[in-house]
Amino acid sequence: MRIISGKWRSKRIRAPKNLPSRPTTDFGKESLFNILNNRFYFEDLRVLDLFSGTGNISFEFASRGAREIVAVDMHRDCVQFISETSDYLKADIQIVQADALQWVRRNATQYDIVFADPPYDYEFYEDLTSGIFDYGLLTEVGEAIIEHSDQTDLSHLPYFMEHRRYGSVNFSFFTRLQTKED
C-alpha cells in the first residue's frame, strides 16, 4: 500500500499477508481524497476509520495533517500492525480494538468524517449507517463514507447523498446537510 499525498507522500507500507483485510486500492483512495480535498480542510478534521484493517485510510488522513484520527478494528493483528506502523511514522492515531458496530453504539464523540470499509459480504450496512446518525457520531457538516462492492446498493438509506465508483471500489456518501429527497 502507498500513501498518496501529504508529508509521507509515495511512502510504501507493506502489510503482512495474513491480515484479514482488503485495503482500498490506490486508484479508489486517490479519487476519494480528491473529493474530500474539495470539501474539507484536513488540518481541522476529526476522523473515525471503522473496519480500519491495515490503517490505509487512517495513514492517508494522518499524512495530510488531520487533527484527530481514531482507527477501530476488531482483529488483534490489524490493530497491532496499525500501532507498529503508527509508531514508525510517528503518526498520532488512536487505535481501538473493538467490533465497529458495537463501538458506534457506545461512542459519544463527534467526527467530521466517518469512513467505514466493512467486509464486502457485511450484512449490517443499514445498522451501521443508521447507527452513525442515530448515535450522533457526525458533526452537523460531517460526512459518512461507506466503501462497498458493486453488489451493494445503499442509495435507499436515510441521509444518502451520492455514490461514486472507481474500478471495483464503490463509495456511498451520507450527510445530514443534503439528502436525496432535497
- Answer whether residue 49 is part of any domain: yes
Angle at 84 between CA 27 and CA 69, to 5 degrees: 60
Bridge partners, 170 (sequence order): 148, 165
**Which domain range does residue 104 map to?**
40-175
Percent of the chain with pLDDT over 70: 97
- Answer whether residue 115 is part of any domain: yes
pLDDT band at 144 (very low <50, low <70, confident <90, very high): very high
- Answer whether residue 20 is part of any domain: no
- Answer whether residue 76 is part of any domain: yes
- Answer whether residue 181 is part of any domain: no
- Answer whether residue 104 is part of any domain: yes
**Residues 123, 110, 46, 157: is their CA dihedral positive or negative?**
positive
- Pairing mode, strands 111-116 and 46-50: parallel
Give the chain's domain count. 1
Q: Which CATH number is 75's domain given?
A: 3.40.50.150
Residue 54 pLDDT > 50, yes or no? yes
For 55-78, the pLDDT digits (tens) are: 999 999 999 999 999 999 999 999
Does this model's pTM top 0.85? Answer: yes
pLDDT band at 23 (very low <50, low <70, confident <90, very high): confident
- Answer whether residue 99 is part of any domain: yes
User: 20 versus 12: which is more confidently predicted?
Assistant: 12
User: Which is nearest to 145 in space by CA: 67, 49, 53?
Assistant: 49
- Answer whether residue 15 is part of any domain: no
Residues in the chain, overall count: 182
Cβ atoms of 119 and 22 within 8 Å: the answer is: yes
